[in-house]
Amino acid sequence: MKTSYKLLLMFVFLFCIHVSSAQTITEEDGNWSEQYVTLTNTPQAELMVRVGDIDNLNFGWPSGFNPFSGNNTPGHGFPWSVNENDPTGTDRIMVISSYAGAPPHGSDGYTATTSRPGNIVTPVTLNYNLNGVAVKSVVMQIFVDDFQAPVWGASYTITIDSVRVPFLENIINSLVQTGPIGKMISANVPAEYLYLFEDGQVSIRFDDYTTGAGDGFAIDFVKILINKAELGQYSTVTGKIIEKGTNTPLDSVLVVANGIRESYTASDGTYLIDSIPPGYISIRTYKPGYGSKSKNISLANEGTGNIDFELETPAPYIVQITPQADSIINDLSTAIVVTFSQEMDSLTFNHVNVIFSDREKTLSGKITRTLTGFSFQPDSLLENAMTYTVTITSGVKNVPGISLGQDYVWSFKTFDPTLDVSPLAIQDPLEVFYNPSSDEITVTYILDHVSQVNAGIYSIVGLKQLDLESGMKDSGKHCVTINADNLLNGLYILKIDLGDKSYTKKLIIKR
Ligand SMILES: [Ca+2]
Ligand SMILES: [Ca+2]
Ligand SMILES: [Ca+2]
């Protein structure tokens, strides 16, 4: 009896060794057991970067299971011991930051069987060298486990490099992975967020800072596909879209799957989207004048699903935004002002639905509500030479509860003194000098922050002829007019020092 027990133990031991040493290596993903992998020109992308081994949270994959198939894993045990070789944020249970032991709607097994600080939320960070590759498109693939926002009342905020990314929040906040089970999600990165991938480092964080919900989760790996993402495995969604109440089929409705694939409805209201990466799929509708709706479905590779929609009219839409899209602003205390087409549910003007971010982080600020819109005043001044992005999500609703027709995303910039503050944002100085009746010179310059300014007119051999301006000057537009009576006809140099930068321009005096 004792001998056979030993034999059994030995057999199990050998079997385990066999499983863990069986390495999977594929063209798309390299060696699945490696923690940090960067590959160029794979069948799927120009550049593939992955952090975390592909190993189902250390449990390994069931025989024949393909984690990229979009199928759910079978349930697995918990908790498990963390392997310190697994990158930060992978293969470990994390419990949302706002959980403080008093969950409003109960809690899951991950929360109950782990504790701080072991289960604190940490981001997953990918470092890579673009080697000159220009980022034109990015698809993210994340193997996620036990996200259950609808079950426990969680509301996930997802950030990439501290910038909120609603396109992932929409997906994660509708996952119900009770089991616990895991699944691949694939999402296209909207163009507005591609800049986050241009510096060779992205740090992605899944957290919930507000609800206190009892939800834990885990991430097996994060993979990004830069340029030409061809995932090779596809599923199909079909459906019909009608107007609520009249049942009239709606044509020309834009239908989008995970932001990756899209299609329009035909005149009979039907649509078909194929080539969708399998897994967790969120289908969203967009049609001007109708509220945007989304529904979710899980499909395996080559699976087909049906999702019908009834759209309601009229949906609110945005009639005015300040600052305008693609504008360049000088006033660093500028507030975002948005006006809608109708009376709105002002409670939906909140920090979940209104997201204001710079290239590095989401900005905090004060929202002031009116019946048909709001203003968002950031808590601190904007920065120079920065691109800002504003997102108004379709979580914004009118009084009857109909969502905005679509997410609105736009960007604007602030003044860049190194590019744009040529002091010769000047009002055509040469015009003045060619006018014999004028003996005045007018120079205009714009400062986007308080600066030391020195400006003068010099002879062509560098001798100062006239002082224009000197001292500390406030931000804003400055206009200096001086009398040039004492300058003889001829060529002069206008020189302005703004901080540590100098600008010059030739001037001609001719009477
Ligand atoms: Ca692992
Ligand atoms: Ca959970
Ligand atoms: Ca892993």
Q: Distance, CA 32 to ligand 1 centroid (Å)?
A: 10
Q: Does one domain contain both 323 and 199?
A: no
Q: Distance, CA 55 to ligand 1 centroid (Å)?
A: 6
- How many domains does one find in the chain? 4
Q: Does one domain contain both 244 and 212?
A: no
> Do 488 and 409 contact (CB within 8 A), yes or no?
no
490 pLDDT more than 90: no
List, in sequence order, every beta strand (DSSP E) within 265-416: 270-276, 279-286, 294-299, 304-306, 309-311, 318-322, 328-329, 336-340, 354-357, 365-369, 373-378, 387-392, 408-414
Q: Does one domain contain both 322 and 403?
A: yes
Record the pTM: 0.64
Domain-terminating residue out of 369, 399, 415: 415
More confident of the two residues 287 and 128: 128
Look up tokens 């609603």; give the residue: 166
Lowest-pLDDT choice from 16-25, 112-121, 303-312, 391-400 = 16-25
Measured distance CA(319)–CA(303) in Å, rounded:
41
425 pLDDT more than 70: no
467 pLDDT more than 60: yes
Residue 263: φ, ψ to 5°: -160, 165
pLDDT of residue 454: 82
Lowest-pLDDT choice from 31-40, 323-332, 443-452 = 443-452
pLDDT of residue 69: 83
| CA distances in angstroms from 351 to 96, 225, 347, listed in the order given | 18, 30, 10
pLDDT of residue 428: 31
Structure tokens, 225: 């596909």
Q: Distance, CA 220 to ligand 1 centroid (Å)?
A: 7
436 pLDDT more than 80: no
Which ligand is the nearest neighbour of the Cα of 219? 3
Q: Distance, CA 146 to ligand 3 centroid (Å)?
A: 14
12 pLDDT more than 60: no
Tell which phi-psi region holds residue 228, choosing left (phi > 0), alpha (psi between -120 and 50) or beta: left
460 pLDDT more than 50: yes
Q: Does one domain contain both 146 and 253?
A: no
Q: Does one domain contain both 352 and 443?
A: no
**Mean pLDDT across 462-484:** 77
CATH code of the domain containing 258: 2.60.40.10
Reported as a single tens digit per residue, the pLDDT across 56-69 is 999 999 998 999 88
Q: Distance, CA 153 to ligand 3 centroid (Å)?
A: 27
Q: Does one domain contain both 306 and 214?
A: no
75 pLDDT more than 70: yes
pLDDT of residue 364: 93
What is the band of 17 on the pLDDT scale with cuts at 50, 70, 90?
Answer: very low
Reported as a single tens digit per residue, the pLDDT across 307-339 is 999 998 778 888 888 998 878 888 889 999 999
Question: What's the DSSP call for residue 153?
Answer: T
Q: Does one domain contain both 307 and 343?
A: no
User: Which amino acid is it at 349?
Assistant: F
> Do 396 and 315 contact (CB within 8 A), yes or no?
no
Q: Does one domain contain both 252 and 214?
A: no
Q: Does one domain contain both 41 and 170?
A: yes
Within a domain: 245? yes
507 pLDDT more than 90: no
Question: What's the DSSP call for residue 12?
Answer: H
5 pLDDT more than 50: no
More confident of the two residues 510 and 227: 227
CATH code of the domain containing 328: 2.60.40.3710
Reported as a single tens digit per residue, the pLDDT across 377-415 is 999 999 988 999 999 998 999 988 888 877 888 889 888
13 pLDDT more than 50: no
Domain-terminating residue out of 226, 258, 286: 226
Look up tokens 């003045």; give the residue: 432
Within a domain: 254? yes
pLDDT of residue 29: 96
Domain-terminating residue out of 182, 197, 226: 226
Structure tokens, 473: 């000057």
More confident of the two residues 357 and 476: 357
Which ligand is the nearest neighbour of the Cα of 67? 3
Average pLDDT for the chain: 85
Residues in CB range of 92: below 8 A, 6 or more apart: 82, 86, 118, 119, 218
pLDDT of residue 461: 65
Q: Distance, CA 482 to ligand 1 centroid (Å)?
A: 72
Structure tokens, 54: 């592909």
Q: Does one domain contain both 249 and 277?
A: yes
Q: Distance, CA 89 to ligand 3 centroid (Å)?
A: 10
Question: Which domain does 254 fall in, by range?
Answer: 235-311
481 pLDDT more than 60: yes
Residues in CB range of 450: below 8 A, 6 or more apart: 472, 473, 474, 475
444 pLDDT more than 80: no
Q: Does one domain contain both 110 and 195?
A: yes
Measured distance CA(503)–CA(449) in Å, rounded:
17
What percent of the chain is predicted at pLDDT more than 70? 88
User: Which amino acid is it at 303?
Assistant: G
**Highest averaged pLDDT of the listed ranges 54-58, 253-257, 280-284:** 54-58
pLDDT of residue 439: 65
Q: Distance, CA 221 to ligand 3 centroid (Å)?
A: 5
User: Which amino acid is it at 53?
Assistant: D
pLDDT of residue 326: 79
- In three-state form (DSSP H/G/I as H, E/B as E, the rest C), the secondary structure along 205-258 is EEECCCCCCECEEEEEEEEEEECCCCCCCCEEEEEEEEECCCCCECCCCEEEEC
Which ligand is the nearest neighbour of the Cα of 99? 2
Q: Distance, CA 396 to ligand 2 centroid (Å)?
A: 27
Measured distance CA(323)–CA(336) in Å, rounded:
6
430 pLDDT more than 70: no
pLDDT of residue 236: 93
200 pLDDT more than 60: yes
Neighbours of 46 (CB within 10 A): 19
Within a domain: 7? no
What percent of the chain is predicted at pLDDT more than 90? 52
Q: Distance, CA 220 to ligand 3 centroid (Å)?
A: 4
Near ion ligand 3, which residues have CB within 5 Å?
Answer: 52-53, 55, 91, 220
Q: Distance, CA 306 to ligand 3 centroid (Å)?
A: 32
Q: Does one domain contain both 67 and 161?
A: yes
247 pLDDT more than 90: yes
7 pLDDT more than 60: no
286 pLDDT more than 50: yes
Residues in CB range of 504: below 8 A, 6 or more apart: 493, 494, 495, 496
**Mean pLDDT across 10-20:** 40
